[in-house]
Amino acid sequence: MTVTIVGSQLGDEGKGRVVDLYGDGADVVVRYQGGDNAGHTVVEGGTEYKLSLVPSGVVRGKVGVLGNGCVVNPATLFDEIDELRDKGLDPDVRVAERAHVILPYHRVLDGIEEDAKSKGDLDAATTGRGIGPTYEDKAGRRGVRVGDLLDPDVLRDRLEYVVPQKRALAEDVFGVETGEEFDVDALYEQYLVYGERLAEEGMPVNCGEFLAGQVDDGNEVMLEGAQGTSIDIDHGIYPYVTSSNPTTGGACTGTGLAPTVVGQGEVIGIVKAYLSRVGTGPLPTELGGVEGHTPGYEGGDDSDEEDLATYIREEGGEYGTVTGRARRVGWLDMPMLRHAARANGFTGIAVNHVDVLASLDEVKVGHSYTFRGEETFTMPSTTEQWGECEANLRTFDGWDPVDWSAVDAWDDLPKHCRDYLDYVSDELDADIFAVGMGPDREDTLVLDDPF
Ligand code: IMP
């Protein structure tokens, strides 16, 4: 069977912990979208592994697959594999031949386009990894795929077609001088070597066929989404989104497993007990602000809200794993979660970071919005409309910190924390599978195992 893990908010919900937790029951762990824009840290046997592309399950000896919905930077891929080997592991990583390849010009263009967009406040605060430009080329049918790296003639043809266009874009449209990143010969030499290594290590696979075979053989497959529903290219707060589909549909198109296969499995939505995000655009339940990201925000004052924001940011370590940037924080946004539950079809949820909210006198949630004078319970379709929404807050009694590592059962959780979690579960009509109460693997209360 399959278990799909999906971020229900804006990314950084703590999916890595849940993948890590339930990954023990999986034989194969698959990423189905995104690239090296996702950061997670896994600690195994006292050793820390920082991964942004390779599925974290490989650290525990699982087969890791990068699905066709991913965009793969071979330099990052091999760096991560080499680092795992240096630390004594023998990672088994497969890469879909249909996955698209990030080339150096994609990263350059990511930076140039973000700069240009920032003049009109349209920049998405991307991770700068070339993700968007690579997906643009995929949709524009001018991309280079992993399978192309394995065939020198095809690779040469692809590069000869696309690179002059990219160079012209950088030079003529954006007025930027270009270098080796836009040179066909240099790219050809470099990427041919990547292709040879991929082949030598037996990594390329026909992803759908490979995974369907695994399912047919009775193996357990975990499908790991990166980022989150509200930064999904279709269902998120466009244009402040990533360029792929973190939602459950992406788990089908991004792997080649049929919706009827994925739909027979479990879909676990990962919820952070409050909200955090990187990037610009509206955020109706935001507390305080982050300069340069919160619209109209020009620095903090000493209001209670600002103190709360700082407290949550510090307690929750709300700084980007890949970029180190301070994240914006806010109360849990229920319309956002209802939207996610519907779009993804959650069969369960895992709620993380309840420890971060401990010690607060009261904890609020945005229960609904007021939009153009009407109460509404889910997100509107456009980001501009979302910006008009005012959150109607509901207040819960706060809970005191406890020895989280000693929480072994639902009843060990503080009563007010249980009330809060019950509310979220009822509103989303999804059982709680796990509760995250601290950074370590042991700080997780496991109520149900999806496998
Ligand atoms: P990109 O994915 O680098 O193109 O960035 C597009 C948007 O998605 C930006 O707002 C990023 O901050 C956001 N984003 C990308 N990856 C992550 C992630 O792993 N967690 C949270 N936000 C992300």
Q: Answer yes or no: is the C-beta of 124 below 6 A from any ligand 1 atom.
A: yes
CATH number of the structural domain spanning residue 23: 3.40.440.10
Name the domain count of the chain: 3
Question: Do 327 and 193 fall into the same domain?
Answer: no
- Place 46 in a pLDDT band, splitting at 50, 70 and 90: confident
The answer to the question of residue 287 being in a domain is yes
> Which residues are part of the catalytic machinery?
12, 40
Instruction: Calculate how far, in angstroms, residue 227's C-alpha sits from the geometric centre of ligand 1.
Output: 7
Rounded distance from Cα 111 to ligand 1 centre (Å): 14
Is the Cβ atom of 341 under 6 angstroms away from ligand 1?
no
Looking at per-residue pLDDT, the higher value among 345 and 443 belongs to: 345
> Does 373 lie in the same domain as 284?
yes
Q: Are the beta carbons of 228 and 11 closer than 8 angstroms?
A: yes
pLDDT tens per residue across span 76-88: 999 999 999 999 9
Q: Indicate if 151 and 59 belong to the same structural domain.
A: no
Per-residue pLDDT at 153 = 98
What is the structure's pLDDT at 10?
95
- Is 87 within the bounds of a domain? yes
CA–centroid distance, 109 to ligand 1, in Å, is 16
Distance 331 CA to ligand 1 centre (A): 20
> What average pLDDT score do residues 33-47 get?
86
For residue 132, the ligand 1 atom closest to its alpha carbon is 4
Taking only the tens place, the pLDDT of each residue in 151-199 is 999 999 999 999 999 999 999 999 999 999 999 999 999 999 999 999 9
Asked, for residue 177, whether it belongs to a domain, the answer is yes
| Torsion angle of C-alpha atoms 193, 198, 199, 204, degrees rounded to 10 | -140
pLDDT at 130: 97
Classify residue 451: in a domain, yes or no: no
Mean pLDDT value of segment 129-136: 97
Q: Whose CA is nearest to atom 19 of ligand 1?
A: 38
Task: Give the per-residue pLDDT at 100.
Answer: 98
Tokens 């509310």 -> residue: 423
CA quadruple 10, 353, 351, 377: dihedral sign? negative
Mean pLDDT within 69-80? 98
- DSSP characters over 71-83: EE-HHHHHHHHHH
Is there a single domain that holds both residue 184 and residue 240? no
pLDDT at position 261 is: 98
List, for residues 408-422, the tens digit of each pLDDT value: 999 999 999 999 999
Indicate whether 250 and 280 sit together in one domain: no
Query: Looking at the structure, do residues 119 and 218 belong to the same domain, yes or no?
Result: no
pTM: 0.95
Ligand 1, pocket-test mutation among 102, 126, 240, most atoms within 8 A of CB: 126
Task: State whether the beta carbon of 243 lies less than 6 angstroms from ligand 1.
Answer: yes
Q: Is residue 355 part of a domain?
A: yes
Expressed as residue numbers, the domain containing 250 is 2-95+204-269
The last residue of a domain, from among 149, 168, 198: 198
In a domain, 286, yes or no: yes
Atom of ligand 1 nearest to the CA of 38: 19
Ligand 1, residue 280: give the atom nearest the CA: 10
Higher pLDDT, 103 or 125: 103
Domain identity same for 176 and 225: no
- Amino acid 47: pLDDT: 86
Q: Which protein residue's CA is at the shortest distance from atom 2 of ligand 1? A: 242
Q: Where is the domain boundary, 198, 226, 261?
A: 198
Which residue among 143, 169, 198 closes a domain?
198
Q: Which atom of ligand 1 is nearest to the CA of 279?
A: 10
Sheet holding 328-330, edge to edge: 275-277, 328-330, 286-287
Most confident of 40-54, 127-141, 289-303: 127-141
Candidate of 32, 112, 242, 328 to mutate for ligand 1, largest count of ligand atoms within 8 Å of Cβ: 242
pLDDT in tens, 317-358: 998 766 788 899 999 999 999 999 999 999 999 999 999 999
CA–CA separation, 69 vs 106, rounded Å?
A: 17
Q: What is the pLDDT of residue 384?
A: 95
One domain for residues 221 and 194: no
What pLDDT score was predicted for residue 320?
78
Contact 441, 43 (CB under 8 A): yes
Residue with tokens 């009509």: 429
For the CA of 278, the closest atom of ligand 1 is 12
For ligand 1, atom 8, name the residue with the nearest CA. 242
φ/ψ of 97, rounded to 5, equals -65, -25
Proportion of the chain above pLDDT 70, given as a percent: 100
Mean per-residue pLDDT for 25-46? 90
Quick one: 20 and 123 in the same domain?
no
> Residue 347 is part of a domain; what is its CATH number?
3.90.170.10
Task: Answer yes or no: do 83 and 22 share one domain.
Answer: yes
Claim to verify: residue 251 and residue 329 sit in the same structural domain: no
212 in the same domain as 173:
no
Query: Is 219 within a domain?
Result: yes
The response to whether residue 38 sits with its C-beta less than 6 Å from ligand 1 reads: yes
Integer Cα distance of 331 and 399 in angstroms: 15
Tell me whether the omega of the peptide bond preceding residue 104 falls within 30 degrees of 0, making it cis: no
Ligand 1 pocket check for 278: Cβ under 6 Å: yes
- pLDDT band, residue 300 (cuts 50/70/90): confident
Asked whether residue 205 carries a pLDDT value surpassing 90, the answer given is: yes
CATH number for the domain that contains residue 127: 1.10.300.10
| Pairwise pLDDT comparison (441 vs 270), residue with the higher score | 270
Across 386-450, where does the E strand assignment appear?
390-397, 431-436, 444-446
